[in-house]
Amino acid sequence: MKGVALLWLTTLVLAVAEVAGAILWHGQEHSTVTFGFLMVIAAVINGIWAGLVAPLAAKD
């Protein structure tokens, strides 16, 4: 059960970080392409992180 809680917690933290980053980035004068690239990187990191935590959740 701890693994499942850890999975949800890490996903929530990463999602909040992505939203906060989007809000902060919105005020800057940067290209949409760069912003989109950063969102893709964030999504990949989120997927890798969930992939690392999921096996721990399965053990419980």
Q: Which helix (H) or strand (E) holds 59?
A: helix 32-59
CA torsion sign, 18 to 24 to 26 to 29?
negative
For residue range 21-35, what is the model confidence (pLDDT) as tens digits? 777 766 666 666 677
Domain assignment of residue 32, given as a range: 2-59
How does the average pLDDT of the chain come out, rounded? Answer: 73
Quote the distance between the C-alpha of residue 57 and its chain's center: 18
pTM, two decimal places:
0.45
What is residue 11's predicted lDDT score, i.e. its pLDDT? 76
What is residue 27's predicted lDDT score, i.e. its pLDDT? 63
Tally of domains within the chain: 1
For residue 45, pLDDT beyond 70: yes
